[in-house]
Structure 1
């Protein structure tokens, strides 16, 4: 009988340890999910900031070329030509 009692006590002890470990892992998982959420929002903000800076850089390049910088004249001419083609397409569609 005492052997059976020892086995039951041992099982109870193991189950208790497993439940405790399970609870710790659930807490750790919750904490990691929160951290992941924060990191995702930071990533989104960073991507938005990068896009904003790229747009500013592009605008500065165009302004530079309009001020007489030879470095970006070709890019500006291509952009202006693309805009003119778009306008021509719009005019064509309106006249139909």
Structure 2
């Protein structure tokens, strides 16, 4: 009878540990999910800022090329021509 009681007590203790571990792990999962969501948001904001800065750099390069020397003027003309081709292709797609 004592052996059965010891076995039941041991089993009860193991069950309590499993339940405690489960609760702790659920809390950790929730915390990590919040952290992940925050990092995803931060990553999106950083990527958008990088895209914005890249657009600004291209604009400044183009503006600077018009005010600069001949080599810069050539680069600016090439950029403007590329932008015009993109506009033309957009217009062609809209007309389809």
TM-score (norm. length: structure 1): 0.82
Counterpart of 2:38 in structure 1 is 38
Report if the CA contact (8 A) 2:62-2:79 is conserved: no
* TM norm structure 2: 0.82
Can you give the 5+ residue segments of structure 1 that lack an aligned partner in the other structure? none
Q: Does 1:15 align with 2:22?
A: no
Structure 1 residue 78: Cα displacement: 1.1
User: For structure 2, which runs of at least 5 residues remain unmatched after alignment?
Assistant: none
Aligned-residue RMSD, C-alpha = 2.4
CA distance in 1, matches of 2:86, 2:17: 73
Name the CA distance, whole Å, in 2 between partners of 1:12 and 1:5: 10
Give the ranges of 4+ consecutive aligned residues of structure 1 lying more than 4 Å apart after TM superposition.
84-87
